[in-house]
Chains A and B, each alone.
Chain A
Amino acid sequence: MNYNFQFNVVWRNFDALLEGAWLTFQLGVFAFTAGLFVGLICAALKTYGPWPVRLLVNVYVVFITNTPALIQIYFLYFGLPDLGIRWSNEACVLIGLTLNAGAYLTMILRAGFLSVRTAEMEAGETLGMSLIQRIRYIVVPHIAKSIYPALANFFIVILVMGTSVGALIGVDELTGQAINLSSVNYRWLEYFTVTAGLYVVLTFVASLGLALVGRWAFRVRARIF
């Protein structure tokens, strides 16, 4: 063990890593937010929809949650062009991650739909609220509060594990950028040490942000670690 650490190379290219981290953050936030919409709609359909719709949602959820995210993104990036559908690598990562997050979030949010008290929903109904209004004013705040920690955890999963899949189809997010840079001068150990540190900072910042949002908007006392 007489490896000679040289972090100078890494600091010289630190800007590029930061750019990668910023892209990772953007991808994570976008995929999570879009996935939240998909998940909310699917969970509502699964709870209140007619049976063919519920079946369709089940097929989507089972299909996505039982296949690796990498395969889904490869399918979009390498598979679809054969059908004449060509999307950029970033678009494929965004769409793939959104569909992926949407399926997992359907399952997470479904628990929230099921745990709303019937009496609250009936009270809403007799006060003249439509189903959509009840979802908006009763179910969503209930979910936000009761399963906020599960949602926040899932955001971290998407942010760290989800987005890094992009590296494999040439998206220069944090992992991709680290691979690019270290393959130029073979300082793998140094680059990946710093990259790991950046991921930790990223999740810490994200957790802190989520905890503050939770506390402020939903009266949730979330633990950060």
Chain B
Amino acid sequence: MPHLAVSDVFAKYGKLEVLHGISFDVERGEVVSLVGPSGSGKSTVLRTLVGLTPVTGGHVDVDGTSIDYHSARAIKAARDRMAIVFQQFNLFQNMTVLRNVTLAPTKIKGRPKAEVEAEAIELLSLVGLADKRDAYPDELSGGQQQRVAIARALALKPEILLLDEVTSALDPELVNEVLDTVRRLAGEGMTMLLVSHEMSFVREVSNKVIFMDKGRVVESGPPGQIFDAPTSDRARDFFGKILRG
């Protein structure tokens, strides 16, 4: 049984349907990447999984149990298992780095402060920012902010980490520090679903790549197959432009 199974999912923004039946699986410990042209619905897939954009059809199962996106409680439970990091502006601007990481575990989950802080400092070390614990987000570079956002997501001990183009708002020289963090998490066996335009990185870390276009999965498979021998014209065309253009 797959850890996360997305089956024939539809989603709308108002009247505009942007996902027209998306299906894919993520196994435990796998890194799966969503790639495709701008506007193809990659972010929307991640948003629907955590209940930010309503699911209008199909179903999502975690460990074989379907998530009822009509129930606020079920969405909350789903968010305990899946954490999302956005492209930018993730951090709470008016809190220190440490408080950004500890707020949800202490105030929302009610866990003891000392224990949470110790864990938070460990997570900050993992992303290489232990010395920034008392800084405010506006005192950090974009790459540092994204690493804090990843640490904050991990503080809730999610089973699956969803990363939406966490490097696309960054200057090229900052991209690597964030990718290193993701690499390290992949090495530790974290299950991740990521959206990325960094194709060489996707190829390196992913167990599976899903190519999307216009709200549909066009093809999916191991990175070697998708990048080097895509079967669809659409994918060939897209990778042709990206990898050689």
Contacts and interface: CB of A to CB of B under 8 A. Distances in A.
Interface string B22-46: 0000000000000000000000000
Interface in A116-139: 117, 119-120, 122-129, 133, 137-138
Contacts of B136: 219
Interface string B90-119: 111111000000011001110000000000
A125 B52 contact: yes
A127 B154 CA distance: 10
Residue among B52, B90, B149, B156 with the most chain A CB within 10 A? B90
B89 A141 contact: no
Contacts of B207: none
B86 interface: yes
22 contacts: A117-B93, A119-B86, A119-B88, A119-B89, A120-B91, A122-B52, A124-B92, A125-B52, A126-B83, A126-B84, A127-B83, A127-B103, A127-B104, A128-B76, A128-B156, A137-B103, A137-B107, A138-B92, A138-B94, A141-B94, A145-B94, A219-B136
B50 interface: yes
Nearest to A142: B94
Contacts of B107: 133, 137
A74 interface: no
Contacts of B91: 120, 123
B92 A133 contact: no
Nearest to A122: B52
B108 A126 contact: no
A127 B156 contact: yes
A142 B80 CA distance: 26
A16 B156 CA distance: 60
A14 interface: no
Nearest to B49: A126
Contacts of B86: 119, 122-123
Interface of A: 117, 119-120, 122-129, 133, 137-138, 141-142, 144-145, 218-219
B152 interface: yes
A126 B52 contact: yes
Contacts of A128: 76, 79-80, 104, 108-109, 156
Contacts, number: 60
A122 B83 CA distance: 12
Closest 5 CB pairs of A and B: A141-B94, A119-B89, A127-B104, A128-B108, A126-B50
Contacts of A129: 104, 108
A49 B104 CA distance: 25
Interface in B117-161: 136, 149, 152-153, 156
B108 A127 contact: yes
Nearest to A119: B89
- Chain B, interface size category, equals 20 to 34
Contacts of B109: 128
Nearest to B85: A123
A144 B92 CA distance: 14
Contacts of A144: 94
Nearest to B109: A128
A142 B136 CA distance: 13
B91 to A, nearest CB: 8
Nearest to A129: B108
Contacts of A119: 86, 88-90
Given A119-B88, A133-B107, A126 B79 contact: yes
Contact of B152 (A127, A145, A218): A127
Nearest to B156: A127
Nearest to A133: B108
Contacts of A145: 94
A216 B52 CA distance: 36
Contacts of B152: 127
Nearest to B155: A127
A120 B104 contact: no
Contacts of A120: 89-93
A16 B93 CA distance: 47
Contacts of A142: 93-94
B108 A123 contact: no
Interface string B159-197: 000000000000000000000000000000000000000
Contacts of A219: 94, 136
